[in-house]
A and B are shown apart, each in its own frame.
Chain A
């Protein structure tokens, strides 16, 4: 079963705009991660936030975590056409190196 639920399911923006994607989950977590997938290929890890962290930055990425609401958001600033991909949030409930439970993903299209 899917743990995470991302929204929106699809997002289309203009190059240079910011993209905000949200993820909600159901059970207590250890970490929450975001991954990107280009056209049905392998997933690429973007950023990880621990359950005791509230915000984290990596380059043009900003992720927030609200454990009281069981939700997270991923912000991509100054988007580029190359950011076009599917984005997934994934949670692990039992500690590092335990199984990840993924959401259904968000399809982001960035128009040049």
Chain B
């Protein structure tokens, strides 16, 4: 049973560049959420995708955008990168309609902005 997979695992960008991170949810899951985790902090919710639409969004600027594909995989795009965007980006999947809120996380994509 494949868990949540993310790519790339590490990447380095410079200020002003754009980045795309990818996520494949756990088999059978249809909902993907993205979180940003700065060093020494807890994860912060960016947004959630279900049925190819953004369903919920956290307090992140429009530079952060996403997409969900018909196979439930998802991308996170960040434009005009800032130094403060350096963080571990975590993708989590879940199944809509479940009575619990348990999330299954990938190992993350560590982004460094120079």
Chain A residues within 8 Å of B, Cβ to Cβ: 1-2, 4, 30-31, 33, 35, 40-45, 48, 88, 90, 92, 95-105
Contacts and interface: CB of A to CB of B under 8 A. Distances in A.
Given A48-B101, A92-B101, A102 B44 contact: yes
Given A43-B105, A48-B100, 17 more contacts: A2-B42, A4-B42, A40-B108, A42-B4, A42-B106, A43-B92, A45-B103, A96-B98, A97-B94, A99-B58, A100-B33, A100-B43, A102-B42, A103-B42, A104-B42, A105-B41, A105-B42
Contacts of B114: none
A101 B97 CA distance: 20
Interface in B39-60: 40-45, 48, 56, 58-59
Contacts of A48: 100-102
B29 to A, nearest CB: 11
A100 B33 CA distance: 10
Contacts of A104: 40-42
B103 A100 contact: yes
A44 B3 CA distance: 12
Interface of B: 4, 31, 33, 35, 40-45, 48, 56, 58-59, 88, 90, 92, 94-108, 110
Nearest to B48: A99
Nearest to A103: B42
Nearest to B110: A40
Nearest to A86: B42
Which 5 pairs across A and B sit closest by C-beta, in order of nearness?
A102-B42, A42-B105, A99-B45, A96-B101, A43-B105
A45 B92 CA distance: 11
